[in-house]
Amino acid sequence: MSEKKLTIGLLTSGGDAPGMNAAIRAVVRTADNYGCEVKGIMRGYAGLLEEDFCVLDTKSVADIIQRGGTILYTARSRSMHLLETQKKAAEICRKNGIDALVVIGGDGSYRGALALSKQGINVMGVPGTIDLDIGCTDYTIGFDTSINTVTESIDKLRDTSASHERCVIVEVMGRSAGYIALWCGIAGGAEEIILPEKYDYNEQAIIDSLTERRKHGKNHHIIVNAEGIGHSASLAARIEAATGIETRATILGYMQRGGSPTCKDRVYASAMGAKAVELIVEGKRNRAVCHMNGEFTDEDLETAINMTKTLPDDLVRLSKTLIRQRNI
């Protein structure tokens, strides 16, 4: 008698991120190679609770590696923090013969995954978030595409702010994490990068520095402000009032989550999706797929969720060193 095929449930949850489709494709095709079946779950945990499934096979994931967003749709399921809901979700997995569940998403999605693992479901986390704020990994799906989108936007804003001799405040996503702000602040040559992790509430220092740079001949300015600080429009108004420099705020918003994934996001997302399936086939339970020190690895899901991550000090120092001179 042939062995029973493993059935893998697959969902994307939380904010979408470019590269999620590449990960979906890799899960499905790797599973196919191992003779496993994949049930796609629509709209994250919300779809799981509604038993909104679809069959995913090698053919159905053709022509998606280059597409942003997620073909499975996504949602933030508020009710997943309730024990009753977690039990119901686990029961639905069992009823539908799901032997293991792959969850592609960020920290909130990982918490849902952990809750399901406590209800006996074998869950694999694949880090999908533009925010890069998952402790166990130095790479998350979508970050690379997002920072390239933001950098291109900052370049465009530089053109117009230079022409008008203005100051521009660019607000970037990242919830309460400053990774996008830090990377894009450096890449975009910003004079100030306001990071939630390092915020010292010293607005006067920003005003003084702008005034000083103006005096020394700098005629346009870029400030990158992280979403976690926010209030860019009122900050712009205060800077303009205090310095006399025309200041505009641009909130980049959801465009940062869209677009065709970069080569890096496609390749890393593919490797991570495949790794999740390999872990299942090897009989591992409740792991988070990670990328650390140049390797794709895995970590216990609960340990991964409890790991904290801080902004790299060397990059924070670099961002300050490169803008120390007053007249550039």
**From 32, 57, 107, 131, the catalytic residue:** 131
The torsion region of residue 200 among left (phi > 0), alpha (psi -120 to 50) and beta comes to alpha
Whichever of 53 and 110 has its CB closer to ligand F6P, that residue is 110
Closest CA to 157 of 220, 215, 239, 232: 220
Smallest distance from ligand F6P to CB 271, Å? 21
- Choices 38-46, 56-64, 173-181, 193-201 (CB under 6 A): range interacting with ligand F6P: 173-181
What span, in angstroms and rounded, lies between the C-alpha atoms of 232 and 224? 10
Smallest distance from ligand F6P to CB 107, Å? 8
Query: Does 135 interact with ligand F6P (rule: CB under 6 A)?
Result: no
Query: Does 257 interact with ligand F6P (rule: CB under 6 A)?
Result: yes
What span, in angstroms and rounded, lies between the C-alpha atoms of 143 and 71? 19
Which SS3 state, helix, strand or coil, does residue 89 take?
A: helix
Smallest distance from ligand F6P to CB 217, Å? 36
Smallest distance from ligand F6P to CB 182, Å? 14
Smallest distance from ligand F6P to CB 87, Å? 25
Whichever of 174 and 188 has its CB closer to ligand F6P, that residue is 174
Residue 38: its H or E element? strand 37-41
Specify whether 208 is catalytic. no
Closest CA to 285 of 127, 125, 122: 122
Residues in binding contact with ligand F6P, number by CB under 6 A: 12
Backbone angles phi, psi at 326, to 5 degrees: -85, -20
With CB under 6 A as the contact rule, the residue among 106, 125, 135, 196 that binds ligand F6P is: 106
Query: Does 227 interact with ligand F6P (rule: CB under 6 A)?
Result: yes
Query: Does 144 interact with ligand F6P (rule: CB under 6 A)?
Result: no
With CB under 6 A as the contact rule, the residue among 24, 53, 114, 131 that binds ligand F6P is: 131
- Choices 116-124, 169-177, 215-223, 230-238 (CB under 6 A): range interacting with ligand F6P: 169-177
CA gyration radius for the chain? 22
Whichever of 30 and 232 has its CB closer to ligand F6P, that residue is 232
Provide CB contacts within 8 A for 302, sequence distance 6+: 114, 117, 286
Residue 296's DSSP bridge partners are 291
What span, in angstroms and rounded, lies between the C-alpha atoms of 223 and 181? 10
- Choices 79-87, 124-132, 149-157, 261-269 (CB under 6 A): range interacting with ligand F6P: 124-132
Query: Does 68 interact with ligand F6P (rule: CB under 6 A)?
Result: no
Query: Does 175 interact with ligand F6P (rule: CB under 6 A)?
Result: yes
CB closest to ligand F6P, residue no = 15
Whichever of 35 and 253 has its CB closer to ligand F6P, that residue is 253
Provide the residue count of the chain: 328
Query: Does 173 interact with ligand F6P (rule: CB under 6 A)?
Result: yes
CB-count burial class (<10 Å; 0-12, 13-18, 19+) for 100: buried
Whichever of 65 and 181 has its CB closer to ligand F6P, that residue is 181
Number of H helices, E strands in the chain: 11, 11
Provide CB contacts within 8 A for 291, sequence distance 6+: 137, 138, 139, 268, 272, 297
What residues line the site for ligand F6P (CB under 6 A)? 14-15, 76, 106, 129-131, 173-175, 227, 257
Point out the residues that are catalytic: 131
